[in-house]
Structure 1
Amino acid sequence: MPLSEHEQRMLEQMERALYAEDPKFATALEGSGLRTYTRRRVYQAVAGFLVGIALLMAGMVAQQIWVSVVGFLVMLGCAVLAVTGWRKAPKPGEQPSGVPGGGSRNSPRQRRSMMDRIEQRWQRRRDEQGQ
């Protein structure tokens, strides 16, 4: 069940009031979660790559081939994660489509998609309560 016109107007009014009262907080709620997530993933992959180098070297020093092979595989896996994460990361100031907060805050399309998401959540909650 979609929101009524009155509920939609009330929701838009609350959103505007939030932006007017505390724009910094409202912007933080929008967030740039994908960019933060991919950056963190790349950093973790780089750290894993360094661990792989350490394992590779330790295996060579200890003359344990299996440790070197594990180190190489860790390096390879982390390199793949870092490269794919780096390519998927949005550029600073750019928001990919489908990310909350993407695009202009005042665009009707973005506001409509926000309303669609809220309506979907509302419907999902009502369906869960009814079962």
Structure 2
Amino acid sequence: MPLSEEELRLLEQMERALSAEDPKFASALRGTALRRAQRRHAVIAGFVLAGGVALLMTGVISRMWIVGVVGFLVMLASTSVLLTALRGAAAVEEDDGSHTPRSSFFDRATERWKQRRRDNDL
């Protein structure tokens, strides 16, 4: 049963009040649901990927190239969904504030280079 306009308005007011009162708690609640959904998508995509591998191998063994092509396409699609889910989960972790964002190799190398230049200038 869908919510009425008045109930939706009240719910939005409560969400805004919660975010204003305790933004860290509100962020944690949003992140938990998103992480759970991303994890579920990744697991399902992993199973579909395994099914695609089985189809591909079945096509190779039975010499039915169409089954192999379908298996390959299933693998390709599930890998795309899997990578999207994993990237989404990583983005949710960085946005939720409980984890410090990890610096990349390039960022660390650039910082070391700047430090060496500062040391040499002294």
TM-score normalised to structure 2 length: 0.52
How big is the shift at 1:63? 1.0
Name the amino acid aligned to 1:87. R
Query: Which residue of 2 is the match for residue 35 of structure 1?
Result: 35
1:48 and 1:64 map into 2 onto residues whose CA distance is 20
Is residue 46–residue 78 contact of structure 2 (8 Å, CA) maintained in 1?
A: yes
2:73 and 2:93 map into 1 onto residues whose CA distance is 35
Q: Please state which structure has a larger fraction of its residues in helix.
A: 2
Question: How many residue pairs end up in the alignment?
Answer: 81
Query: Which residue of 1 is the match for residue 64 of structure 2?
Result: 64
Identity of aligned residues (%): 36
1:92 and 1:68 map into 2 onto residues whose CA distance is 36
2:87 and 2:54 map into 1 onto residues whose CA distance is 26
- What does 1:78-93 align with in structure 2 at a 5 Å threshold? 78-90=78-90
Is residue 34–residue 92 contact of structure 2 (8 Å, CA) maintained in 1?
A: no
How big is the shift at 1:90? 3.7
Query: Secondary structure in 1 aligned to 2:63?
Result: coil
Name the amino acid aligned to 2:41. R
Structure 1 unpaired stretches of 5+ = 17-25, 97-101, 105-131
Name the amino acid aligned to 2:67. V
Query: Secondary structure in 2 aligned to 1:57?
Result: helix
Runs in 1 of length 4+ with deviation above 6 angstroms? none
Structure 2 unpaired stretches of 5+ = 1-5, 99-122
TM-score normalised to structure 1 length: 0.48
2:79 and 2:44 map into 1 onto residues whose CA distance is 10
